[in-house]
Structure 1
Amino acid sequence: MTVYNVVYFAWVRERIGLPGEKVESAAQNVSELITELSARERRYAAAFADLSAIRVALDQDLAHFDASLEGVREVALFPPMTGG
Protein backbone atom coordinates (compact mmCIF):
# COMPACT_ATOMS: atom_id res chain seq x y z
CA MET A 1 0.00 0.00 0.00
CA THR A 2 1.10 3.53 -0.78
CA VAL A 3 -0.14 6.81 0.66
CA TYR A 4 -1.02 9.52 -1.86
CA ASN A 5 -1.88 13.15 -1.29
CA VAL A 6 -5.11 13.40 -3.32
CA VAL A 7 -6.35 16.93 -4.01
CA TYR A 8 -9.69 17.97 -5.48
CA PHE A 9 -10.54 21.16 -7.38
CA ALA A 10 -13.67 23.06 -8.46
CA TRP A 11 -16.90 21.05 -8.48
CA VAL A 12 -15.03 17.82 -7.70
CA ARG A 13 -14.05 19.41 -4.38
CA GLU A 14 -17.62 20.61 -3.83
CA ARG A 15 -19.15 17.16 -4.44
CA ILE A 16 -16.68 15.35 -2.22
CA GLY A 17 -16.69 18.08 0.42
CA LEU A 18 -12.92 18.10 0.94
CA PRO A 19 -10.04 20.06 -0.61
CA GLY A 20 -7.84 16.99 -0.34
CA GLU A 21 -6.88 14.01 1.77
CA LYS A 22 -4.24 11.38 2.35
CA VAL A 23 -5.33 8.14 0.69
CA GLU A 24 -3.76 4.75 1.33
CA SER A 25 -4.18 2.62 -1.77
CA ALA A 26 -2.93 -0.47 -3.54
CA ALA A 27 -3.96 1.00 -6.92
CA GLN A 28 -1.46 0.60 -9.73
CA ASN A 29 -2.86 3.38 -11.92
CA VAL A 30 -5.17 6.39 -11.77
CA SER A 31 -8.21 4.45 -12.95
CA GLU A 32 -7.84 1.92 -10.13
CA LEU A 33 -7.46 4.73 -7.58
CA ILE A 34 -10.66 6.41 -8.82
CA THR A 35 -12.47 3.06 -8.63
CA GLU A 36 -11.35 2.70 -5.00
CA LEU A 37 -12.42 6.26 -4.18
CA SER A 38 -15.80 5.81 -5.89
CA ALA A 39 -16.50 2.76 -3.76
CA ARG A 40 -15.99 4.71 -0.51
CA GLU A 41 -19.39 6.40 -0.40
CA ARG A 42 -22.02 8.12 -2.51
CA ARG A 43 -20.37 11.57 -2.64
CA TYR A 44 -17.24 10.07 -4.24
CA ALA A 45 -19.33 8.01 -6.65
CA ALA A 46 -21.19 11.18 -7.66
CA ALA A 47 -17.98 13.12 -8.20
CA PHE A 48 -16.50 10.41 -10.44
CA ALA A 49 -19.69 9.24 -12.20
CA ASP A 50 -18.65 10.78 -15.53
CA LEU A 51 -14.92 10.33 -16.06
CA SER A 52 -15.06 12.28 -19.33
CA ALA A 53 -15.57 15.33 -17.07
CA ILE A 54 -12.47 14.62 -14.95
CA ARG A 55 -8.83 15.44 -15.60
CA VAL A 56 -5.86 14.24 -13.57
CA ALA A 57 -2.39 15.52 -12.77
CA LEU A 58 0.30 13.42 -11.14
CA ASP A 59 2.84 15.47 -9.22
CA GLN A 60 1.51 18.51 -11.13
CA ASP A 61 1.91 16.97 -14.61
CA LEU A 62 -1.20 16.20 -16.66
CA ALA A 63 -1.72 12.46 -17.05
CA HIS A 64 -4.16 9.85 -18.38
CA PHE A 65 -6.28 7.43 -16.37
CA ASP A 66 -4.02 4.52 -17.32
CA ALA A 67 -0.93 6.33 -15.97
CA SER A 68 1.09 4.42 -13.39
CA LEU A 69 1.11 5.66 -9.81
CA GLU A 70 4.61 4.33 -9.19
CA GLY A 71 6.67 6.99 -7.44
CA VAL A 72 3.77 9.47 -7.42
CA ARG A 73 3.14 11.56 -4.30
CA GLU A 74 0.29 13.85 -5.39
CA VAL A 75 -2.81 13.06 -7.44
CA ALA A 76 -4.96 16.05 -8.45
CA LEU A 77 -8.47 15.52 -9.77
CA PHE A 78 -10.36 18.37 -11.45
CA PRO A 79 -12.80 19.25 -14.25
CA PRO A 80 -11.50 20.22 -17.69
CA MET A 81 -10.09 23.71 -17.87
CA THR A 82 -11.67 26.21 -20.22
CA GLY A 83 -10.13 29.27 -21.72
CA GLY A 84 -11.63 32.64 -22.28
Structure 2
Amino acid sequence: MKSFTSLQLAQSPNAQQLEANLAAKYEELRAHDMQVVERINDTLAAKLNDAAQPVIDDWKSKASPISDEILDTFDKNP
Protein backbone atom coordinates (compact mmCIF):
# COMPACT_ATOMS: atom_id res chain seq x y z
CA MET A 1 0.00 0.00 0.00
CA LYS A 2 1.37 3.39 -0.98
CA SER A 3 1.88 5.85 1.86
CA PHE A 4 1.35 9.60 1.52
CA THR A 5 2.58 12.35 3.77
CA SER A 6 -0.06 14.60 5.29
CA LEU A 7 1.30 17.50 3.26
CA GLN A 8 0.77 15.52 0.06
CA LEU A 9 -2.78 14.74 1.12
CA ALA A 10 -3.53 18.36 2.04
CA GLN A 11 -2.27 19.51 -1.35
CA SER A 12 -3.99 16.79 -3.33
CA PRO A 13 -6.59 17.57 -6.01
CA ASN A 14 -9.19 15.94 -3.75
CA ALA A 15 -8.45 18.42 -0.96
CA GLN A 16 -8.66 21.28 -3.42
CA GLN A 17 -11.95 19.95 -4.78
CA LEU A 18 -13.29 19.60 -1.26
CA GLU A 19 -12.47 23.24 -0.53
CA ALA A 20 -14.12 24.34 -3.78
CA ASN A 21 -17.24 22.29 -3.00
CA LEU A 22 -17.44 23.70 0.50
CA ALA A 23 -17.10 27.27 -0.76
CA ALA A 24 -19.87 26.66 -3.29
CA LYS A 25 -22.16 25.25 -0.58
CA TYR A 26 -21.49 28.26 1.66
CA GLU A 27 -22.38 30.59 -1.19
CA GLU A 28 -25.57 28.65 -1.86
CA LEU A 29 -26.58 28.90 1.79
CA ARG A 30 -25.83 32.63 1.87
CA ALA A 31 -27.84 33.12 -1.33
CA HIS A 32 -30.81 31.72 0.61
CA ASP A 33 -30.26 34.23 3.44
CA MET A 34 -28.68 31.69 5.77
CA GLN A 35 -25.89 32.71 8.09
CA VAL A 36 -22.77 30.56 7.77
CA VAL A 37 -20.50 30.52 10.81
CA GLU A 38 -17.01 29.50 9.72
CA ARG A 39 -15.31 30.13 13.06
CA ILE A 40 -16.46 29.44 16.60
CA ASN A 41 -15.29 31.27 19.69
CA ASP A 42 -12.25 30.03 21.59
CA THR A 43 -14.24 28.93 24.66
CA LEU A 44 -16.50 26.64 22.66
CA ALA A 45 -13.53 25.33 20.66
CA ALA A 46 -11.69 24.47 23.89
CA LYS A 47 -14.73 22.64 25.28
CA LEU A 48 -15.14 20.64 22.06
CA ASN A 49 -11.43 19.80 21.99
CA ASP A 50 -11.53 18.62 25.61
CA ALA A 51 -14.58 16.46 24.92
CA ALA A 52 -12.97 14.94 21.81
CA GLN A 53 -9.57 14.20 23.35
CA PRO A 54 -10.43 10.73 24.77
CA VAL A 55 -11.72 9.64 21.34
CA ILE A 56 -8.62 11.04 19.63
CA ASP A 57 -6.33 9.29 22.10
CA ASP A 58 -8.15 6.01 21.51
CA TRP A 59 -7.85 6.43 17.74
CA LYS A 60 -4.14 7.24 18.02
CA SER A 61 -3.56 4.07 20.02
CA LYS A 62 -5.09 2.02 17.19
CA ALA A 63 -3.96 4.02 14.14
CA SER A 64 -0.88 3.72 12.01
CA PRO A 65 2.44 5.32 12.93
CA ILE A 66 1.59 8.42 10.88
CA SER A 67 -1.36 9.32 13.12
CA ASP A 68 0.59 12.19 14.72
CA GLU A 69 1.41 13.60 11.30
CA ILE A 70 -2.23 13.37 10.25
CA LEU A 71 -3.37 15.18 13.38
CA ASP A 72 -0.66 17.83 13.03
CA THR A 73 -1.85 18.60 9.50
CA PHE A 74 -5.46 18.72 10.68
CA ASP A 75 -4.52 21.15 13.48
CA LYS A 76 -2.73 23.42 11.00
CA ASN A 77 -5.78 23.59 8.70
CA PRO A 78 -8.63 25.04 10.74
Q: Normalising TM by the smaller chain, what interval?
A: under 0.3
Larger radius of gyration: 2
Task: Identify which of structures 1 and 2 has the higher relative contact order when contacts are C-alpha pairs closer than 8 Å and 6+ apart.
Answer: 2
Q: Which has the higher strand share?
A: 1
TM-score normalised by the chain length of structure 1: 0.25
TM-score normalised by the chain length of structure 2: 0.26
